Chain A
């Protein structure tokens, strides 16, 4: 479903924080193109600038230099109001922490940005019904976020990101707070969105399981996109869920009885921390 015209184009993006000796080059000369229907991953070690890059591409953070085009529109030329419209109408966001509105029900959360859409929310109710059905949330439509499981919360967040039919979705570690099963489920939904709707999905992740369904992987290291070297993979087993995890890029790690253990998600790490003996014994 890919097209020859990129939905997102970034040229020579740079972002630094701090000054003089304490300056940090978070993103250094990054150029990329994302096409409709693509699911592209941005991977890399912690602190490599992935979230900073995503923030800039999502028109939330201003770059020091470089250009970003979304649907051929240069976002550097947009004022605050235009950028807000762009985020509301062209971009969908999915976050690791779900970021739902606590006081709103599932359907209210999904409809929350609908009034900002191109049609001012005119067809929002119809789209809501479709999204609830598609994401398996019909029975939970009146539920409040604090009664939802992590997987349900992320599905609500996905529905909210889709309510205004965006051209591109930026997802920041969308499986980071989910166990392996729920994480898989969320990844498949995002994969389907890209394949079936033609919506581009740009995902920051540490989760190696996503690699299998991604169209492309951009490896970010020290703020720069680099070729990913094969020796940088070090596949190990998550002692909790048994998933394959790249210990080189994994962020959920712990030392236990002089061993380094690596986990696929925060959930698995939490489970391990509660009952380490259970999982270590299993592995042995």
Chain B
């Protein structure tokens, strides 16, 4: 019967392809939402990855950056830089809020930097300046493309206008893009000319990061000190908390859609092959053998759908950001593992209706001419 089921499936290649394609599309939906979510989550912490500090220092009670506010007196930067195990420090002033470009608000991480701490600035400038001066701003190229603006145009930060002097790559995120301004401008906005928000600490080679972290906490008052791993983890967790429900819902919807398509395909196959199934029943095949066949067909369809989804995802979906630059995608194998785990339940559930039809199938129809 298994051989029959395979040959029957492959004897109608166009129908098979249509079914597999439909299943693949529903799987791609699941993969797409997961990839967008993971791409966005990665993008939310890309700044931390790129500045590559060993330790992050922030205001006491603050433990992340996304949608947070932190204020530290500027003397704390000097104090930290004097600690033995510290190789270098960089400090930024930071605001999480909208920047108005060409009439549209872009929710951004607004980073106020000074030339002194240039390592906290943009890491991939594709056009213009790398460090903004007073009255200047550096924005992601994606925003420039989407807004149709160029270097020399103006953006609005709260109540002031800043001239765009540089464009950066890999700094755009739907949740929070990176906009670099001068510390002086941001200090004016925040009324904090003697303050920083975050201090990045670079440890000397061989220094123990945890010991250094404790040392900073001992030496500097009212600060929260985190290793880079802890800091990134906190921000990523926040991103997950914000998006996981939506992504899970999308995953469930995609999985349900795939189940429906597999069920429909299996059921339509049974309707079309009703006579042959009746013959099989008349010849002595049992209900469970025929149900196994339908389940097997559903599994094959689902697996073929997954393989096609894999090919399309890695081949085409991965290129989507080239055409839609505002999308950050991270396609990972574990997203397929999720589907792979669910394939058997999908095939089983999808086969239930078909199984009921088989049980009800009257073998006497074989006598109908």
Contact = CB atoms under 8 A, between A and B. Distances in A.
Partners in one complex: yes
Contact of B366 (A80, A99, A102, A176): A99
A101 B285 contact: no
B369 A84 contact: no
A88 B284 CA distance: 4
Nearest to A111: B3
Interface string B1-45: 001100110110000000000000000000000000000000000
A75 B40 CA distance: 67
B275 interface: yes
Interface string B275-306: 11001111111110000000000000000000
Interface in B83-106: none
B367 A172 contact: yes
Contacts of B192: none
Contacts of A88: 283-285
Contacts of B287: 80
A154 interface: no
Contact of B363 (A51, A60, A102, A173): A60
Contact of A103 (B4, B275, B368): B4
Interface in A107-137: 108, 112-113, 116
B364 interface: yes
A108 B7 contact: yes
B3 A99 contact: no
A177 to B, nearest CB: 8
A95 B283 contact: no
Given A87-B284, A102-B11, A108-B3, A96 B369 contact: yes
B369 A87 contact: no
Contacts of B286: 80-81, 84
A104 B366 contact: no
A109 to B, nearest CB: 10
A99 B8 contact: no
A108 B368 CA distance: 23
A97 interface: yes
A99 B277 CA distance: 10
Nearest to A266: B369
Contacts of B283: 87-88, 93, 112-113, 116, 160
A89 interface: yes
Given A60-B364, A61-B364, A103 B284 contact: no
Given A55-B364, A60-B364, A104-B4, A173 B282 contact: no
Interface residues of B, number: 23
A85 interface: yes
Contacts of B8: 101-103
A61 B286 CA distance: 15
Contact of B367 (A54, A81, A84, A108): A54
Interface in B236-286: 275-276, 279-286
B297 to A, nearest CB: 12
A103 B15 CA distance: 14
A101 B367 contact: no
Contact of A95 (B276, B284, B285, B367): B367
A104 B367 contact: no
A41 to B, nearest CB: 16
Interface in B320-369: 363-364, 366-369
Nearest to B279: A99
Contact of A99 (B7, B275, B284, B285): B275
B369 A97 contact: yes
Interface string A31-59: 00000000000000000000100110010
B366 A95 contact: yes
Contact of B276 (A84, A101, A173): A101
Nearest to B7: A103
A51 B367 contact: yes
Nearest to B288: A81
Contacts of A160: 283
A89 B285 CA distance: 11
A141 to B, nearest CB: 15
Interface string A156-186: 0000100000000000110011000000000
B293 to A, nearest CB: 12
3 tightest A-B CB contacts, nearest first: A88-B284, A103-B11, A103-B7
11 contacts: A61-B364, A80-B287, A87-B283, A95-B366, A96-B367, A97-B369, A99-B366, A101-B279, A103-B10, A104-B4, A108-B4
Given A101-B279, A103-B4, 12 more contacts: A55-B367, A60-B363, A61-B364, A87-B282, A88-B284, A103-B10, A104-B7, A108-B3, A108-B4, A113-B283, A116-B283, A176-B369
